[in-house]
Amino acid sequence: MNYRDTMNVNKKGHLQIGGVDAVDLVNKYGTPLYVMDESYIRSVCRAFRETVEKTYGEGGVAYASKAFSCKAIYEIAMQENMYIDVVSGGEIYTANSVGFDMKKAYFHGNNKLISEIKLALNVGVGTFVVDSFDEIDLLDSVCAENGIVQKVLIRVNPGVEAHTHSFIQTAKVDSKFGFGVKNGYADEAIDKILGKNNLRFAGLHCHIGSQIFDKQAFALAVDVVTDYVVRLKERGVVVDELNFGGGFGVYYSGDDPKYDVKEYCDYVALLTSSLKNAVEKKGIKKPFFMIEPGRSIVGEAGVTLYSVGAIKEIKGIRKYLAIDGGMTDNIRPALYDAKYDAVLANRANEKATEVVSVAGKCCESGDIILKDIALPAAKRGDIVAVFTTGAYNYSMSSNYNRNFVPPVVFVKDGKSAYAVKPQTYEDLVRNDVSLEYKD
Ligand SMILES: *Cc1c(COP(=O)(O)O)cnc(C)c1O
């Protein structure tokens, strides 16, 4: 765990988040429960924005809302003067429903549906990040029908691929995302856009990966993309905006670096300084600068609380603690072997005395949330707190086995409030109907 001023262990030895005792949260809301630390989210938003302002100037920070999407988070993004990145009609609808200024939305996706394009135009989404030749034709024709000239970026594939602790520069052209810079597809896409009456080409977008710790990967992306801007300039194409996506790594477990908010800003500062240098050195127009972090804004803000139920020991092999949630609220361990850190929230000061695995309650052998985690000897009713579950947990949740998706509670200054209410059995059957064939 990466403790901070808004997440620590209180005098009772209980985990405390946003000034609220986790045991009190469990007594009030039950388990499983997603808890989000509002002050932390706001502090990251502010720090990122201020870093862009101080180190670069003209630019913005878009919250990549696929990481965690619900009405409350768009309200917070709005209050924090953030832009947002949206990837579906559902995200657009949710943001728009709380009055988010959709001019500040970037609409991504490799297969935007016609219905989603229409919704986006209808609510005035500011920027489309175009990702296929097909989309260029489709978007232009829908814009023409509606008398709109739409600002667009194209998503480019710069051939920089970053993973957690390393990156590679590839000539890899096999990706479902982006137009290749090296194979000429990006040139072709831009020419096509410039030939359309209802599209206005504004610049380039790239996103080189996720959970990246090697900051140099971002500097390399800036270098490759600005080289391309130089080539575009030679062809008479003006680039007003560059968007470098998201991907900043956060602490989950083990050797992951434990950054505080200031250190997260180093990612941003490296991007802006690389871009400023490139602008000077390469003699290009200083572009509007955008980034789109998701995980680094909400990831560490989230903690999931579970109750320990059945305990099963296979002598000499493994002890399983079963919890009342699992892959329905956190698919990441099953999906990509993601590792987490955890404590017993009601005994957070106690020494770990055994290594156990924490299993979910779903009917899947792979439904293991924590493999080999050191904890104090747990009993039924103890509370397991899993850290860094704010990103890609709730947003990837499901009702598999007809389990409930847990409610989401925000905490701040010693208070708590629902952001997403609990589901009921009635919710689970809401759209179910008895078969009634009609000819
Ligand atoms: C997922 C994604 C992001 C956010 O990535 P994080 O790793 O959560 O910061 C930003 N931009 C695009 C285009 C994405 O697909």
Element (H, E) at 43: helix 38-55
> Are the C-beta atoms of residues 21 and 12 closer than 8 Å to each other?
yes
pLDDT at 55: 98
Any residues with CB less than 8 A from the CB of 186 and at least 6 apart, and which?
A: 154, 156, 157, 179, 180, 204, 228
pLDDT at 130: 97
Provide the annotated active-site residues: 363
174 is written with which tokens? 């096999």
Q: What DSSP string runs through 230-244?
A: HHHHHTT----EEE-
207 lines ligand 1 (CB under 6 A): yes
- Cα(280) to ligand 1 centroid in Å equals 28
pLDDT at 167: 65
Would the CA dihedral through 79, 2, 269, 166 be positive or negative?
negative
pLDDT at 430: 97
Q: Return the ligand 1 atom nearest residue 293 CA.
A: 9
3-state DSSP call for residue 111? coil
| CA 280 distance to own-chain centroid | 32
> Are the C-beta atoms of residues 243 and 129 closer than 8 Å to each other?
yes
pLDDT at 173: 60
pLDDT at 221: 94
- Cα(247) to ligand 1 centroid in Å equals 6
80 lines ligand 1 (CB under 6 A): no
Range 337-353 burial, b when 16+ CB lie within 10 A, else e: ebebbbbbbbbbeeeee
pLDDT at 174: 65
- Cα(355) to ligand 1 centroid in Å equals 34
Candidates 219, 92, 208; CA nearest to 158 is: 208
Cβ neighbour number for residue 243 with a 10 Å cutoff: 29
- CA distances for 29 relative to 14, 17, 22, 26, angstroms: 16, 15, 10, 5
DSSP secondary structure letter of residue 347:
G
116 lines ligand 1 (CB under 6 A): no
- Cα(346) to ligand 1 centroid in Å equals 34
3-state DSSP call for residue 177? coil
178 lines ligand 1 (CB under 6 A): no
> Are the C-beta atoms of residues 419 and 408 closer than 8 Å to each other?
yes
pLDDT at 162: 74
129 lines ligand 1 (CB under 6 A): no
What distance in Å separates the CA atoms of residue 239 and residue 152, rounded to the nearest whole number?
11
159 lines ligand 1 (CB under 6 A): no
- Cα(219) to ligand 1 centroid in Å equals 17
Residue with tokens 């896409």: 189
Cβ neighbour number for residue 317 with a 10 Å cutoff: 7
Candidate from 84, 85, 252, 389 with most ligand 1 atoms within 8 A of CB, to mutate: 85
246 lines ligand 1 (CB under 6 A): yes
Element (H, E) at 140: helix 133-146
pLDDT truncated to tens, each residue of the chain (439 aa)?
A: 899 999 999 999 999 999 999 999 999 999 999 999 999 999 999 999 999 999 999 999 999 999 999 999 999 999 999 999 999 999 999 999 999 999 999 999 999 999 999 999 999 999 999 999 999 999 999 999 999 999 999 999 988 777 766 666 654 666 778 898 988 999 999 999 999 999 999 999 999 989 999 999 999 999 999 999 999 999 999 999 999 999 999 999 999 999 999 999 999 999 999 999 999 999 999 999 999 999 999 999 999 999 999 999 999 999 999 999 999 999 999 998 999 999 999 999 999 999 999 999 999 999 999 999 999 999 999 999 999 999 999 999 999 999 999 999 999 999 999 999 999 999 999 999 999 999 8
